[in-house]
């Protein structure tokens, strides 16, 4: 069953729609047309007690401000493009930039700020919503007219699948992801420092102070970035490592995932509640961000303020600044090709 209702009105008078779907007593999801956004996800703990485990904005207005990325589909290009400069087929494109001077998540008016067209969908045992968005040539400086599609499907076993597709009429770059922040204790209920995290990666990308990759993949062995076995987040980010300081007191880095195809990228667990998220993806990278810059300004649906490490983002994607790094996996999309990406979050408790 997919239920639809009004979620609010934007300052320009346009309505925002909310869809709710899932299993009674099990996992249920709420998505919004603003940013094709995962606004809430309710999951049971080991005792069957349900809680929302995704951070969200307290109001629609919040989602146009500091909470713009929470749960949103970000693009055209997730993560950073250095200096807002895109070199493609011998042509230099100047992209819209944030105050840092770089292009983040597609620019200041990226896909997270747009109203997407949504329709309920069902497939086998799954139900959810399919969103579509058109992005004209020159949007935030990107070449090519892009048609994008994001489909959320949830099954009765607690598996949330997010599938992305896109097509273009001229060469461009595409890198879409979901920017949900998880807290398995519950939204607004403390930090994720007591969570355990495992990432299936032998390498990661060190960054400069603007969070632009320094260059080559570095091995995780012997560093706090070695998450090939589950480790406590709070212990790791308390380590005196220069890359943790660079990122503002935690992780804000891309891990270069092992393997290809749909495979496990990460496992996040909360021992106190028994909740687990297994993240699988077809993408080559996983950006892990431990909410280092939450400062109490944002208030979530619970009415509680988000302080540092209130949630953790597991963003499946291509590498930052790939368009300017020929040795990174390509993000170029050409006419006649189809961009496809799939990420699955499996929610369990025990």
Rounded to whole angstroms, the Cα distance separating 347 from 330 reads: 31
Rounded to whole angstroms, the Cα distance separating 283 from 175 reads: 10
Query: What does the pLDDT average to over 125-135?
Result: 97
pLDDT at residue 24 above 90?
Answer: no
User: Exposed, middle or buried by CB within 10 Å (0-12, 13-18, 19+), for 154?
Assistant: buried
- The contacts of residue 32 (CB under 8 Å, 6+ apart) are 7, 16, 17, 18, 39, 63, 71
- The contacts of residue 66 (CB under 8 Å, 6+ apart) are 297, 298
**Given this model, what pLDDT does residue 25 score?**
87
pLDDT for 281-295, tens place per residue? 999 999 999 999 999
Inter-residue contact 24 to 157 (CB < 8 Å)? no
Per-residue pLDDT band for 256 (boundaries 50, 70, 90) equals very high
Marked catalytic residue, from 42, 93, 105, 179: 179
Mean pLDDT for the chain overall: 97
Q: Which residue, 321, 255, 257, 248, is CA-closest to 291?
A: 248
pLDDT for 321-330, tens place per residue? 999 999 999 9
Marked catalytic residue, from 30, 187, 200, 315: 315
Per-residue pLDDT band for 198 (boundaries 50, 70, 90) equals very high
**Given this model, what pLDDT does residue 338 score?**
98
315 catalytic, yes or no? yes
**Given this model, what pLDDT does residue 1 score?**
80
pLDDT for 272-284, tens place per residue? 999 999 999 999 9
pTM over 0.85: yes
- How many CB atoms sit inside 10 A of residue 109's CB? 12
pLDDT at residue 82 above 90?
Answer: yes
- Domain 2-349, CATH class in plain words: mainly beta
Quote the Cα angle for 218-224-228, to 5°.
Answer: 80
Strands 146-154, 159-168: parallel, antiparallel or unpaired by DSSP? antiparallel
pLDDT at residue 235 above 90?
Answer: yes
**Given this model, what pLDDT does residue 123 score?**
87
102 catalytic, yes or no? no
Query: What does the pLDDT average to over 167-176?
Result: 98
Domain ranges of the chain: 2-349
Query: What does the pLDDT average to over 87-112?
Result: 97
Query: How are the residues of the chain apportioned to helix, strand and coil, as percentages rounded to the nearest 5?
Result: 5, 45, 50
């Amino acid at each position: 069953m997919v239920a639809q209702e009004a979620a609010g009105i934007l300052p320009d008078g346009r309505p925002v729609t909310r869809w709710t779907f899932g299993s009674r007593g099990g996992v249920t999801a709420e998505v919004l047309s603003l940013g094709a956004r995962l606004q809430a996800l309710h999951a049971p703990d080991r005792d069957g007690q349900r809680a929302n485990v995704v951070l969200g904005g307290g109001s629609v207005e919040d989602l146009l401000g500091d909470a713009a990325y929470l749960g949103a589909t970000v693009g055209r290009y997730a993560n950073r493009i250095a200096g807002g400069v895109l070199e493609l087929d011998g042509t230099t494109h100047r992209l819209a930039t944030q105050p840092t001077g770089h292009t983040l998540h597609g620019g200041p008016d990226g896909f997270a700020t747009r109203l997407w067209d949504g329709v309920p969908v069902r497939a086998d045992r799954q139900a959810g919503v399919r969103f579509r968005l058109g992005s004209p040539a020159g949007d935030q400086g990107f070449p090519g007219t892009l048609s994008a599609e994001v489909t959320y499907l949830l099954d009765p076993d607690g598996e949330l699948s997010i599938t992305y597709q896109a097509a273009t009429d001229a060469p461009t770059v595409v890198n879409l992801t979901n920017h949900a922040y998880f807290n398995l204790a519950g939204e607004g209920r403390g930090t994720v420092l007591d969570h355990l995290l495992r990432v299936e990666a032998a390498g990661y990308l060190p960054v400069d102070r603007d969070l632009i990759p320094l260059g080559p993949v570095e091995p995780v062995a012997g560093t706090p970035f070695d998450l090939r076995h589950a480790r406590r987040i709070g212990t790791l980010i308390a380590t005196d490592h220069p890359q943790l300081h660079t990122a503002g007191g935690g992780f804000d880095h891309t891990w270069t995932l092992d393997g290809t195809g749909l495979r496990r990228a990460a496992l996040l667990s909360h021992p106190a509640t028994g909740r687990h998220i297994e993240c699988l993806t077809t993408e080559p990278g996983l950006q892990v961000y431990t909410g280092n810059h939450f400062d109490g300004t944002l208030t979530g649906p619970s009415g509680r303020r988000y302080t540092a490490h209130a949630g953790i983002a597991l963003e499946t994607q291509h590498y930052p600044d790939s368009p300017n790094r020929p040795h990174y996996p390509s993000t170029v999309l050409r006419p006649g090709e189809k961009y496809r990406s799939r990420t699955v979050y499996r929610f369990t408790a025990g």
